[in-house]
Amino acid sequence: MVSSFTIVTRTGLSVERLFDASLNIDAHQASMETSGERAIAGVTSGRIGLGETVTWRARHFGIWFRMTSKITSLDAPHRFVDEQVSGPFRSFHHLHEFGRDGDETVMTDSITLASPIFGAVAERLVLVPYLRRLIRQRNHYLVQSLCGSGSNE
């Protein structure tokens, strides 16, 4: 089964600052501290770029996982895509889009995934809500860390 969901985050930060923070490995690790997520291979700190990979090690559902993601598309500062190249999912595609709506920056995360472990019902009732929470947690961290680091622009 293939599942998908979208998370929309609105902020007064500039598109460029939020875009750059979203590609920052250190910021991602800090936002996922509760799962012990660490970059262990590929780009392990700083900004990741087009064609580059990062291998994450993290504990989710009490189990340690490894997942390697690659930046397969990048159009700064408007969008980028990261996709799993190896790991726990049959497929994992994450489109990050950034734009303006009046005075706000709108960051949209669109995720499409297929899990080899969960059945259709468990994927919908357990995995997707869990991943939604993680993305919201990550986005909240990014916005708060940028708001605390100086001006919104």
| Domains, in order of start, for the chain | 2-147 (3.30.530.20)
d(CA 132, CA 109): 10
Rounded mean pLDDT, 68-81: 98
Neighbour-count burial for 67-76, b at 16+ CB within 10 Å, e otherwise: bbbbbeebee
Task: Find where tokens 């869990």 sit.
Answer: 130
Rounded mean pLDDT, 3-23: 97
Q: What is the pTM of this model?
A: 0.92
Amino acid letter, 139: N
Confidence of residue 115 (pLDDT cuts 50, 70, 90): confident
Long-range contacts: 56-60, Cβ < 8 Å, 24+? 58/32, 59/35, 60/35, 60/130
The token duo for 150 is: 């100086």
pLDDT at 107: 98
Which segment of 69-73, 118-122, 127-131 scores lowest on mean pLDDT?
A: 118-122
Which segment of 4-18, 24-38, 51-65, 120-134 scores lowest on mean pLDDT?
A: 120-134
Confidence of residue 149 (pLDDT cuts 50, 70, 90): low
